[in-house]
Amino acid sequence: MPARRHPLYGLMAEFDRPEDLLAAAKRAYQEGYRRLDAFTPLPVEGLAEAVGFHKSRLPLIVLIGGLVGCVGGFSLQYYGMAVNYPLNIAGRPLNSWPAFIPITFEMTILFSALSCVFGLLALNGLPTPYHPVFNAPRFELASRDRFFLVIKARDRKFHPEKTKQFLAELHPKDIADVEA
């Protein structure tokens, strides 16, 4: 093995088909590896679970955003029409709530959608200006037709040689060191 200039981020195994990657990820998890990640050109059913991801907080973020938009949108109209600048038009009620529903609805959707997108970016840690996996020589194929499994060096069970041996048992197309 040639001398590395940088510390190791992990080991990357390349697969041809999503099913092979999925099976490999499950094997690695069974083997006790926990710091796993998989990279694919398309969403693969069950892969996130296979690398140990279980529950996303995204729906909760969207719910909170939607509630903020709903309450905020209605309050804005109530404050403007009934508190701050009340107009008495033939004694009609100032809190004419049915007329406030369309804007309340639109604000609910707007805030839900904004929290959904910004929540997605925040949870995924995007924008990420630098990430070690891009150092792997064939990683650009992860956005085309190849499927990659990475076992990170941070994993407690990680061993440069033994982990590489384990990955070789999974019959990948290629195994590469990923520099940090």
Binding site for another protein (CB under 8 A): 17-19, 25, 37-45, 47-51, 53, 55-56, 58-59, 62, 76-77, 80-81, 84-85, 96, 99-100, 102-103, 105-107, 109-110, 112-114, 116-117, 119-121, 123-124, 126-131, 133-134, 139-145
Residue 142 to residue 12: CA distance in whole angstroms: 12
- Complex with another protein: residue 1 or 92, whichever CB lies closer: 92
Residue 55 to residue 31: CA distance in whole angstroms: 22
Closest separation in Å from C-beta 74 to another protein = 10
Length of the chain: 180
- Complex with another protein: residue 31 or 145, whichever CB lies closer: 145
- Complex with another protein: residue 107 or 177, whichever CB lies closer: 107
Question: In a 3-state reduction of DSSP, which class is residue 122?
Answer: helix
- Complex with another protein: residue 72 or 157, whichever CB lies closer: 72
Write out the H or E segment, with its range, that includes residue 178: strand 174-179
Closest separation in Å from C-beta 7 to another protein = 20
Closest separation in Å from C-beta 28 to another protein = 12
Residue 82 to residue 66: CA distance in whole angstroms: 24
- Complex with another protein: residue 137 or 165, whichever CB lies closer: 137
Closest separation in Å from C-beta 154 to another protein = 15
Per-residue b or e along 48-79, where b marks 16 or more CB atoms closer than 10 Å to that residue's CB: eebbeeeeeeeeebbeebbebbbeebbeebbe
